[in-house]
């Protein structure tokens, strides 16, 4: 089934990306990092939520992003996804400068995200939610004629199975529990077949068992998917991440391996030293 003519978003191949959804990437990305930020800043009035951040995420990495409340993690995610525009700096996706691109273009080029607060289509069923994500890549989203879109449908079944929502396919998203909504968020993000997956606190509100399942799911992702993950649960981050960047007051404090981060005095101070000030500041990132 081919996508209809016109720019309806269906099957748009991201530049330099694989044509299909499953073929391994990385042949061109071997040289350039999957994602690179150079001097990225975002100011809200006098508040420097993100301040001259340099970040390089190598292709296929599981990169953790941690920091105390208000460090600018969620803002940084929104800058990468294109929900927010940068005040200064450039963002590269592979070899492509995406700084000026709109959010939906970035999504088509392979950036996919789960939001800190679930953002779903509540009146629609779980299956319809996932289909919306899957049909853009695997179906014919602009078709005004009813279609079964079997490829997208199969992909949805597969993803719902993977996140553990198969039995809930015909329930509306509004009826799901908090943890289930998080799972559906992840199914939606994966249905876009991302090459860069941004996970903003994916385990928040999940039970221990659900959290474990999530870790397994992320570990099982092919190497063609680069993952950047913000997570409060440091156990999850240390378990998953091959590299960790610590953000503090909008700036990069440290980038290193999990053991580097664990042993860093500066990190400990950032976390502990601001413990009582945390409550004073309203986190700019989605609080």
Shortest CB 105 distance to another protein, Å:
8
CB under 8 A: which stretch of 106-114, 156-164, 199-207, 211-219 binds another protein? 106-114
Alpha carbon 227 to its chain's center: 7
Query: CB atoms < 10 A from the CB of 146, how many?
Result: 6
The alpha helices in 8-125, defined as continuous H runs, are: 73-81, 103-108
Nearer to another protein, 121 or 271 (CB): 121
Nearer to another protein, 51 or 127 (CB): 127
- Pairing type for strands 226-230 and 62-66 reads parallel
Q: Which residues contact 273 (CB under 8 A, 6 or more apart)?
A: none
Q: Indicate whether 188 belongs to the interface with another protein (CB under 8 A).
A: yes
Q: Which residue is it, tokens 């503090």? A: 248
Nearer to another protein, 71 or 188 (CB): 188
3-state secondary structure 143-167: CCCCCCCHHHHHHHHHHHHHHCCHH
Query: CB atoms < 10 A from the CB of 113, how many?
Result: 26
Shortest CB 196 distance to another protein, Å:
13
The 130-159 contact track toward another protein, x by CB under 8 A, reads -xxx-xxx-xxxxxxxxx-x----------
Q: Indicate whether 121 belongs to the interface with another protein (CB under 8 A).
A: yes
Q: Which two tokens stand for residue 234?
A: 């440091």
CB under 8 A: which stretch of 89-97, 128-136, 215-223, 271-279 binds another protein? 128-136
Nearer to another protein, 81 or 243 (CB): 81
Q: Indicate whether 169 belongs to the interface with another protein (CB under 8 A).
A: no
Interface pick for another protein out of 119, 177, 257, 259 (rule CB under 8 A): 119
The 54-93 contact track toward another protein, x by CB under 8 A, reads ---------------------------x-x----------
CB contact burial 177-205 (16+ within 10 A = b; e otherwise): eebbbbbbbbbbbbbbbbbbbbbbbbbbb
Q: Indicate whether 123 belongs to the interface with another protein (CB under 8 A).
A: yes
Size of the site for another protein (CB under 8 A): 40
Q: Which two tokens stand for residue 149?
A: 């879109």
Q: Which two tokens stand for residue 73?
A: 């993690």
Q: Are 217 and 164 in contact (CB under 8 A)?
A: no
Interface pick for another protein out of 41, 74, 99, 113 (rule CB under 8 A): 113
Q: Indicate whether 8 belongs to the interface with another protein (CB under 8 A).
A: yes
Q: Indicate whether 182 belongs to the interface with another protein (CB under 8 A).
A: no
Q: Are 186 and 229 in contact (CB under 8 A)?
A: no
Shortest CB 114 distance to another protein, Å:
10
Segment holding 18, helix H or strand E: none
* Contact residues: another protein, CB under 8 A: 7-9, 12, 81, 83, 102-104, 107-108, 112-113, 115, 119-124, 128, 131-133, 135-137, 139-147, 149, 170, 188, 192
């Amino acid at each position: 089934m081919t996508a209809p003519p016109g720019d309806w978003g269906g099957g748009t191949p991201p530049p330099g990306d694989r044509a299909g959804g499953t073929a391994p990437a990385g042949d061109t990305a071997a040289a350039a990092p999957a994602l690179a930020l150079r001097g990225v800043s975002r100011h809200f009035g006098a508040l420097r939520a993100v301040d001259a951040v340099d970040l390089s995420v190598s292709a296929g990495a599981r990169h953790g992003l941690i920091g105390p409340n208000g460090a600018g993690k969620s803002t940084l995610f929104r800058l990468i996804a294109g929900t927010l525009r940068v005040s200064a700096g450039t963002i590269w996706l592979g070899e492509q400068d995406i700084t000026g691109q709109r959010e939906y273009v970035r999504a088509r080029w392979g950036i996919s995200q789960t939001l800190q607060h679930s953002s779903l289509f509540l009146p629609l069923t779980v299956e319809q939610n996932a289909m919306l994500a899957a049909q853009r890549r695997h179906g014919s989203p602009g078709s005004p004629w009813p279609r079964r879109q079997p490829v997208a449908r199969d992909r949805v079944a597969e993803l719902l199975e993977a996140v553990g929502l198969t039995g809930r396919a015909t329930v509306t998203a509004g009826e799901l529990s908090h943890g289930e909504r998080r799972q559906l968020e992840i199914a939606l993000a994966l249905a876009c077949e991302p090459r860069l997956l941004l996970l903003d606190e994916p385990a928040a509100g999940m039970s221990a068992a659900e959290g474990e399942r999530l870790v397994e799911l992320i570990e099982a992702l092919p190497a063609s998917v680069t993952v950047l993950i913000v997570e409060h649960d440091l156990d999850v981050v240390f378990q998953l991440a091959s590299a960790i960047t610590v953000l503090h007051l909008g700036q990069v404090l440290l980038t290193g391996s999990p053991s580097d981060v664990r042993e860093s005095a500066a990190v400990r101070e950032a976390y502990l030293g601001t413990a009582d000030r945390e409550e004073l500041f309203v986190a700019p990132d989605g609080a």
